[in-house]
Amino acid sequence: MSKILLLETSSEVCSVAVAIDGRVTALVETPETLQHAALLTIQIQECLHQSGLPLAVMDAVALSKGPGSYTSLRVGASVAKGICYALDKPLIAVDTLHALALASKNADTGATPDALYVPMLDARRQEVWLALFDGQLKEVAPPQPLIFENNSFEKYLLDKTGSPALLRIVLSGNGAVKATSATIPNQTVISNITKCSASFLAPLAEEAFQKADFQDIAYFEPFYMKPPNITTPRESTLLTKI
């Protein structure tokens, strides 16, 4: 019986879950916040209390590896690594977009075998990070950035799939609404899966656990997609006049 602690910090949602044999038994999350450093360890404690299990009996720690917010991903990775080091537990990394695609497929009441699942994460302005998955959740196009303008999304789909005859395109994630600013195929729908959640990691984390697909704790780094946008403050005008 596998017991896995799940951490999701890739976006504005700070989320923790416990899964037993791939089934979520406890979940604590706070949407619409970027205070992951302050919340994550408290949520872990609350989630473990909810599950009735101590941290020491977890068989592994799984985290959403990105893409996503640079700072938030680092918080999740630091906490996950700390637990794994302290308790000698394996670390599992789950692709954030794959987890979103799986959740949107499971929630898709009109699912068809030839559907295309397109998870999207908000990357500010008119940009998203996205990937493409087919109806069997096989990756059609790897995670990459896309800027929405005019027919950019429709052209992107044609370039990646080679066919305009897709019967169903399902967008998910907090960047999906941005697609409405571009030309999209008529058969496109927006999933009700609009936020990341640690609960979405459970099936993929269980699969990785059974395959012993673990990360090297010393060298693991989240998938940031882009480096952080670090700026330096302008020199004070007042000081330059003194």
Tell me, yes or no, whether 73 and 108 share the same domain: no
Tell me, yes or no, whether 67 and 57 share the same domain: yes
Tell me, yes or no, whether 71 and 20 share the same domain: yes
Tell me, yes or no, whether 102 and 89 share the same domain: no
pLDDT digits (tens, 9 = 90+) for 93-138: 999 999 999 999 999 998 888 899 999 999 988 899 999 999 999 9
SS (H, E, C) 138-204: CEEEEEEEEECCCCHHHHHHHHHHCCCCCCCEEEECCCHHHHHHCCCCCCEEECCCCCCCHHHHHHH
**In-domain check, residue 229:** no
**In-domain check, residue 64:** yes
pLDDT of residue 36: 93
pLDDT of residue 167: 72
Where residue 173 sits, what CATH number does that domain have?
3.30.420.200
* Residue indicated by tokens 């403050």: 233
Tell me, yes or no, whether 74 and 151 share the same domain: no
Task: Tell whether the model's pLDDT for residue 63 goes beyond 60.
Answer: yes
**In-domain check, residue 223:** no
Element (H, E) at 43: helix 36-51
Tell me, yes or no, whether 117 and 160 share the same domain: yes
pLDDT band, residue 16 (cuts 50/70/90) = very high
Give the mean model confidence (pLDDT) for residues 162-180: 83
**In-domain check, residue 215:** no
User: The domain containing residue 113 runs over which residues?
Assistant: 97-190
Tell me, yes or no, whether 136 and 167 share the same domain: yes
Where residue 17 sits, what CATH number does that domain have?
3.30.420.40
pLDDT of residue 149: 83
Tell me, yes or no, whether 184 and 129 share the same domain: yes
3-state secondary structure of 197: coil
**In-domain check, residue 152:** yes
Tell me, yes or no, whether 7 and 91 share the same domain: yes
pLDDT of residue 111: 83
Give the mean model confidence (pLDDT) for residues 68-96: 97
Domains in the chain, number: 2
Give the mean model confidence (pLDDT) for residues 57-83: 96
